Every structure is written in C-alpha cells, then in structure tokens.
Amino acid sequence: MSTYKLTYFDVRGRGEVIRLVFAQAQVEYEDVRILPAEWDSSKTDRSRFPMGCCPVMDLDGMTMMQSMVIARHLARKFGLAGNDEKEMTMIDMMSDLCTDMLNEMFELIFEKDAKRKEDMTTAFAKKSETYMSVFTGWLEKNGDDKGFLVGNTVTLADLALFNLLEQLSTKHADILTKNPPMQAFLDRVKVEPNVAAWLEKRPKGEMDI
Amino acid sequence: MSTYKLTYFDVRGRGEVIRLVFAQAQVEYEDVRILPAEWDSSKTDRSRFPMGCCPVMDLDGMTMMQSMVIARHLARKFGLAGNDEKEMTMIDMMSDLCTDMLNEMFELIFEKDAKRKEDMTTAFAKKSETYMSVFTGWLEKNGDDKGFLVGNTVTLADLALFNLLEQLSTKHADILTKNPPMQAFLDRVKVEPNVAAWLEKRPKGEMDI
C-alpha cells in the first residue's frame, strides 16, 4: 500500500488544502510539520526539497512539489476532481483562482514597505470583491446557492474555497461580512462530517495562518 | 464541432503556452489578440472577462480562465497530458514550475523601484540556477538528455519549458549560456515539426515578451 508523506511547515498556509483533501477522502498520511530550526538546516537538502521549497509530498519514491499539483493528484485519485472533462476543468479553474487569491494575501502579509503595503491593501480589497462575486455567481449557478461549487458533493474546488475563506476570516474578516453567501459557504463546509472531524483534531499550528 | 476562441494580448506572455498546445496538436482555434485601446474599454465586461484578466478561452458557452487551467484542459483533450497518473502528475508539476519561473520573470520586468529591482534580479539569478538544475536533472533521468521531459514524445511539460526558455532567451540569455542542456532542449523543441511550423507563421506580436 502506498504511504503518503506530506512535509510542510506547522501552519495552514499552502499546505492546508492538501490536508483537507486527505481529510475529506479519509485517507491516512504522515503529516510532517517541519519547524524553523530544522528547516534552516535541511532546506538545502535537494534530495528532500528539490526546489528548496515546501510543501513536498513523497509517494512511492517520487517527490511531488507545488501545493496544487499535489492537491490535484490526490483529488484525481480520491474522486474529488470531477466526473467529466467539463467538471474537471471547472474544479481546476476554481481551485487555481483560490490559490491566486491566497498568494495575494500572503504577499500582503509579508510586505514590509509601508507605502507599498497600503497600496496593496487597497488593491486587494478591490480585487477580493471580484473574486467573491465570481465565486458567488458560480454557487448560484450550481443550484440554489445552498450547495457546492460543482455537482452536489464536495470536490477539490470546495475545499480550496473553504481553505481560502477560512484563512481570510482571520486576517480579512470584513470580506466575509460583506459577502454573506461566502460566509454561509464557509459555515456549510465547516460542518461537512469529514471536514469537521479534521478541524476538531488538527494541531493548532505554529501561527494562525 | 467545438470552436475554440482564445483571447489574449498581442504578446507571448501567459498566452503562448496555450498557442503552443494548439500548434503541437494541430487543432484550429481563433487566436484573438486584443490591443491596449480595446482592452481598456472591454476589461470591465464581466461576460467576456469574469475576473478582468486575460487569457480567457471560450468553448461551447463556457469561459475558461487561468492560462495553465486552459493549457491543462487542452493537453488532456489532445493527448499531451501523460499516459497514466504518474506521468500526468510529473507533467503537471513541471508545467506549474515553468509558470512560477515565468511569473517571477514578469514581476522583475514590471518592477519600478530600482533598489527592489536590483534585489529581485540577484534573487532571480540564484533561483534560476535551481530551476535549471532541476529541469536538467529530469531530462537526464528520462533517458539520454537528448529527448523530452516525460516519455518519448512532446507533452505539455516540454511546451511549457520551451516557452519559458524562449522567453528567458530574450531577457536573460545568460541563463541559457550557463546551462547548455537547457539551450540544447530549446533548440531541439524549436525544430519539432508542429512547433517549427507555428514559430514560422505566428504573428510577430506587439512586444518581444
């Protein structure tokens, strides 16, 4: 049997979407959380971290990199990537957009120049409205605005959006307040049994991101 | 029959990898190149550009966004995405890494602050060595360092790497000079019949990126 070993920092960041896929599929894996001191001494080990980055996932002698590549791989295997080419493409597009917005949020968090941070904050607020309205539109189009993004079961797209919204909720709660369908979606996925079980048992993490 | 309509700017940028997939698969499509004046007046049209961004691809009433989502969709349809799950994941990872490096190159091009640009240039040079050595390693591992990245035919991974290297060659030619296997790969893919035919007939484009 294949053994999955995921290595990432002890934060949600770019790794949590992968952990959510494992949780939803109820598949066991090794959730290795590398601490700063260990990272400093091991990030140049190219056999473990070929690009000097995390997350990586080891499986049957293969080291996978890039959070969404890993998430897509697992989603295909675990039946969370769509039932046909059209669904697969929609799910891929939605997940990729979540990653883009998450990346923009991270850039904002790590920006040190005050003036630049101010401009980025304004741009992020504006752009976030576009993201939220696009996702709200997709939810509405896929039924009664009370379900999931694609089809009628949880897919990678829902987990990616849930992850984005959960991370936004700690740093940009106003975005959720302004977009009730997004808050409702967050609340809905939060109580999906497999997601809820993970939220209950997951480590608190080194930082609240 | 499905009609593919790709809308992007009149540059290579983030759109060329999609054009290369069409070229390699020899599939007809509408290559719409939107000019700055038209873009200014149409980018807020959410029915054409849901996120206010390019590229988009219209197909059977669906508007796809995100360059690599579109490229992956087409690659799956046209048999350029790998023959099994392992190949598919490798190709996905390699293509995604090319996109990351391309994005870093674009950020550098568009950076206006001189000091910041200098720091980014240093970081980019260092990071590029890691990228190039990782790709060189994959090429060596997949045979005799004279072929392709995965299997023995052109896949999306080869087109993505070709696109990256071609774009690097106009702005960062030193990277290719320092990495002969990458220059050799660029030269090799350039003469693949379908790629060569596209390079011969493609519009020169508004800018050399």
List A93's β-bridge partners, or say none.
none
**CB proximity B117 to A under 8 Å:** no
Identify which of A52, A72, A134 has the shortest CB distance to residue B51. Answer: A134
**CB proximity A53 to B under 8 Å:** no
DSSP 3-state assignment of A87? helix
**Residue percentage of chain B with pLDDT more than 90:** 93
Identify which of B69, B97, B137 has the shortest CB distance to residue A92. Answer: B69
* pLDDT of A58: 97
Is A63 found in the same domain as A29?
yes
Q: Specify if B98 maps to a domain.
A: yes
Amino acid identity, residue A163? N
Is A62 in contact with B92 (Cβ distance < 8 A)?
A: no
Q: How many domains does chain B have?
A: 2
Q: Specify if B69 maps to a domain.
A: yes
For residues A104, A106, A111, A114, the Cα torsion angle rounded to the nearest 10 degrees is 70
Q: What is the CATH number of the domain that holds A151?
A: 1.20.1050.10
Cβ partners under 8 Å of residue A118, min gap 6: none
Is A128 found in the same domain as A67?
no
Identify which of A64, A130, A131 has the shortest CB distance to residue B93. Answer: A64
Is B169 found in the same domain as B109?
yes
* pLDDT of B23: 98
Q: Specify if A137 maps to a domain.
A: yes
Tell me the average pLDDT across A136-146: 86
Residues A155, A89 contacting (CB under 8 angstroms): no
Residues B102, B111 contacting (CB under 8 angstroms): no
Is B97 in contact with A51 (Cβ distance < 8 A)?
A: yes
**CB proximity A134 to B under 8 Å:** yes
Is B89 found in the same domain as B74?
no
Q: Specify if B121 maps to a domain.
A: yes
Q: Cα separation of A56 and A75, whole Å?
A: 16
Is A93 in contact with B66 (Cβ distance < 8 A)?
A: yes
Q: Specify if A183 maps to a domain.
A: yes
**CB proximity B146 to A under 8 Å:** no
Residues B182, B165 contacting (CB under 8 angstroms): yes
Q: Specify if A209 maps to a domain.
A: no
In which band, very low, low, confident or very high, does the pLDDT at B208 lie, cut at 50, 70 and 90?
low
* pLDDT of A145: 64
**CB proximity B123 to A under 8 Å:** no
**CB proximity A140 to B under 8 Å:** no
Q: Specify if B209 maps to a domain.
A: no
**Residue percentage of chain B with pLDDT more than 70:** 98
In which band, very low, low, confident or very high, does the pLDDT at A208 lie, cut at 50, 70 and 90?
low
Q: What is the CATH number of the domain that holds A62?
A: 3.40.30.10
Q: Cα separation of B54 and B77, whole Å?
A: 22
Is B60 found in the same domain as B99?
no
* pLDDT of A1: 67
Tell me the average pLDDT across B175-185: 97
Is A69 found in the same domain as A18?
yes
Q: Specify if B208 maps to a domain.
A: no
**Residue for token digits 């056999």?**
A47
Partners of residue A97 in chain B, C-beta under 8 Å: 51, 65-66
Is A32 found in the same domain as A130?
no
**Per the structure block, which two tokens stand in for B162?**
């070709």
Is A141 found in the same domain as A90?
yes
| pLDDT for A207 beyond 80 | no
Identify which of B66, B77, B134 has the shortest CB distance to residue A96. Answer: B66
CA A109 to chain centre: 17
Cβ partners under 8 Å of residue A81, min gap 6: A72, A75, A88, A91, A92, A155, A156
Q: In chain B, which residue's Cα lies nearest the Cα of A56?
A: B93
DSSP 3-state assignment of B100? helix
In which band, very low, low, confident or very high, does the pLDDT at A194 lie, cut at 50, 70 and 90?
very high
**CB proximity A58 to B under 8 Å:** no
Is A156 found in the same domain as A90?
yes
* pLDDT of B8: 97
Cβ partners under 8 Å of residue B164, min gap 6: B98, B101, B102
Is A166 found in the same domain as A101?
yes
**CB proximity A143 to B under 8 Å:** no
Partners of residue B62 in chain A, C-beta under 8 Å: 86, 89
Is A94 found in the same domain as A166?
yes
Interface test with B, best of A48, A57, A69 (most B CBs within 10 A): A69
Nearest CA of chain A to the CA of B200: how many Å?
Answer: 31
Is A65 found in the same domain as A10?
yes
Q: Which domain holds residue B146?
A: 85-191
